[in-house]
Structure 1
Amino acid sequence: MSVNIRRFHQVFLYQSRAPVPELLADLEVLAGLDARAEAQRRALAWSGWLTVIPGGAMALLAYGVWAGAVNADERFSEAGAQLLKTVGVVGGTLLAVGLCLFFWRVVLKVRDLDNRRYGLAQVLLQRLQVDLAPDATVRLKLDLRPPDVREKRVKQDMVGWWNTDFFVDPWFTLEGRLADGTFLRIHMVERLQKRERSKTSASGKTRTKTKRKGFARLEVSVRVKPERYPGLEKLKARATAATRLPRRVELERTRVAVDRLSLRARLSDEWVARPEKALDDPEAPAFWRQALEKDDASRTATMMLLSLYQVLGYARRRARQQAARGRRESV
């Protein structure tokens, strides 16, 4: 499926069911659109400053000279008046052009996507590709809008003295059937609170404070055939004990049923899709070390899936042992 760029720039939603190579190709298109938007916004910022600063200086200079001459009751020569007028017009034009460039940059902000979102999809698809049948299709749904758009606000309330907007953003869903027949689902939701509080001082000045806080929930679940894993619903304690997660990532919930297993973990809102360098690399710059300290969402999802497969493997081995024991007793 090829990305309809015009439609995407209207809704910023991506949804497709296709083989992994096609999904990865679409994500490369989205990454290219994001890179182009970032480059355009950088160019507009530089162009805006390079026109606003000299334009504002020329306009202020022309106005200052004119105001000084008026106050001093002096008259300009015809050439001087023409020069002053030219400087003022050019300065005002540059200032207006610069402001238009900044406005255009603000308009393009919505096209500057969160790199982590499509980046996480790329990493997970690349890792899962080896566990899928060659012609298997995967369903991928991405909501690349910011988490604080009006459509994602679920309520407004007071938290202490803060006026608070609550946002819920279920932005990521990946579903597919693995080569062994297991149905896999990975789902991620971000929750955000935007808080605002105003205070009026004794002098009558009003100061407004704002802050944001949030977190992300990552859920990995598998659905299997009950006859292949008998007794799976009794293994909740083992599933919880078998779960391994990166440092600082918190396991929130474990669910088991006759035909499914599910783990849900809580990550910081500053999670990363995948760090680029190892933490013990002495050549890693300081900003990469800071990034590596953040929660790695792709590693978390991978470890959760491996933990679920450990439980499935235990259930399968136990079923075989019980069947073998039953055959021996019947002899």
Structure 2
Amino acid sequence: MAVNVSRFHERFTYQARAPVPALLEDLEVLSRLDARAEGQRRVLSRAGGTAAILGGALALLCRQVWAGAVDPTEGLGVISGAILITGGVGGAAFVVGIGLLVWRALLRKRDLDNRRYDLARVLLQRLQVDLAPKAPVRLKLDLRAPDEPDKHAGQGMVGEWSTEFFVDPWFSLETRLADGTFVRIRMVERFQKRKRTRTTVSFLRIQRKTKGKHKSCAVLDVSARVKPERYPGLEQLKTRATGAVRLPPRVQLSRVRLAADRLSLRARLSGEWVARAERAEALEKEDASRTATMMLLSLYQVLGYARRRAKRQAARGRLEPV
């Protein structure tokens, strides 16, 4: 598949249903677009900051020299003309620098959160070995910021903080594995923008100080849908399923659900999760791809137990005398 770049830069969302190789190619395109935006913003930051600082300083210096050395009653001499030209150049450089910084700010939406498309890439690569060669995968990514207006979920007080709540269901992956199991992996970011204002009175003066901060967490859901006749009694194994779950350090299991034809797990990660942790940071960072993989393996342990139990019950039924 081919990514429509102009359309992507309007919406910053990606949605496709295709085999894994095609999806990986699209994710590589998104990665290159992100890298280019990061490079542009880095160059604009350096150039704009340098031009604004040096140009502003030069213009201010020329103004001070003009005020102290030029007699307004005299005509415009060579020195005063040079001061005016130099000050004009400094002022122009300052304006250009501010323009470059504004341009950098306008490119902010194109500077994507690398973790989001990296997580999709890692999970696709891991699932590929369990898929038929051309099995389609449905992938949805919302690469916008978590505090977009359409993600606003309400506001209220958290302690002394006035808080805006945002819910960002940014990731969804659905596919059918080679054994017929339908798998769905979803991630939702819960984001909070907090603000508080404190008023103090000192020496007959009223001072107000406003402080703001952000807080977030990620909720990861992994579910599997199966044929009930292959796994009879699956809905009775919640205790077994809860005990079978294995998760990376610091990741919290928050929900286990079982029904006759499906089972699902939900885990909670901090807002500082990574797509794939390196060995050196494996105990410090919450690895989202490893968490999803371990959750899926835990589901398959429960399915395997249900399958073995059904076979044992069928064997005992055949051995009982009529």
Q: Give the root-mean-square deviation of aligned CA atoms.
A: 1.5
In the TM superposition, what whole-angstrom CA distance separates every residue of 1:169-224 from its partner, at most 9, and x where no partner exists? 00000000000000000010010111111123222232111111121100100000
Q: Which residue of 2 aligns with 1:186?
A: 185
Q: CA deviation at 1:77?
A: 5.8
User: SS of 1:173's equivalent?
Assistant: strand
Structure 1 window deviating more from structure 2 (149-158 vs 139-148): it is: 149-158
Q: Say if 2:302 is the partner of 1:307.
A: no
Alignment of 1:289-308 (within 5 A): 289=281, 293-308=284-299
Q: Which residue of 2 aligns with 1:130?
A: 129
Q: Please tell me whether the aligned partners of residues 217 and 265 of structure 1 are also in contact (alpha carbons under 8 angstroms).
A: yes
Q: 1:200 to 1:73 in 2, by over 3 A?
A: farther
In the TM superposition, what whole-angstrom CA distance separates every residue of 1:216-249 from its partner, at most 9, and x where no partner exists? 1001000000000011010000000000000110
Q: Distance in 1 between matches of 2:321 and 2:287?
A: 51
Q: Which residue of 1 aligns with 2:318?
A: 327
User: SS of 1:214's equivalent?
Assistant: strand
Q: Say if 2:54 is the partner of 1:54.
A: yes
Q: Say if 2:30 is the partner of 1:30.
A: yes
Q: CA deviation at 1:135?
A: 1.2
Output the amino acid matched with 1:261.
L
Structure 1 window deviating more from structure 2 (199-208 vs 227-236): it is: 199-208
Q: TM-score, normalised by structure 2?
A: 0.96
Q: Distance in 2 between matches of 1:310 and 1:318?
A: 12
Q: Distance in 2 between matches of 1:76 and 1:270?
A: 65
Q: Distance in 2 between matches of 1:293 and 1:108?
A: 32
Q: CA deviation at 1:330?
A: 4.2
Q: Distance in 2 between matches of 1:137 and 1:217?
A: 25
Output the amino acid matched with 2:154.
K
Identity of aligned residues (%): 65
Alignment of 1:1-331 (within 5 A): 1-69=1-69, 75=74, 78-202=77-201, 203-275=205-277, 277-279=278-280, 289=281, 293-330=284-321
Give ranges in structure 1 of 5+ residues lacking alignment: 280-288
Q: CA deviation at 1:91?
A: 0.2
Q: CA deviation at 1:151?
A: 1.1
User: SS of 2:303's equivalent?
Assistant: helix
User: SS of 1:212's equivalent?
Assistant: strand
In the TM superposition, what whole-angstrom CA distance separates every residue of 1:94-131 from its partner, at most 9, and x where no partner exists? 00000000000000011000000000000000000000
Structure 1 window deviating more from structure 2 (240-249 vs 197-206): it is: 197-206
Q: TM-score, normalised by structure 1?
A: 0.93
Q: Distance in 2 between matches of 1:74 and 1:246?
A: 79
Q: CA deviation at 1:303?
A: 0.2
Q: Please tell me whether the aligned partners of residues 131 and 178 of structure 2 are also in contact (alpha carbons under 8 angstroms).
A: yes
Q: Please tell me whether the aligned partners of residues 66 and 80 of structure 2 are also in contact (alpha carbons under 8 angstroms).
A: no
Q: CA deviation at 1:75?
A: 4.6
Structure 1 window deviating more from structure 2 (292-301 vs 19-28): it is: 292-301
How many residue pairs match? The answer is: 319
Q: Distance in 2 between matches of 1:162 and 1:327?
A: 66
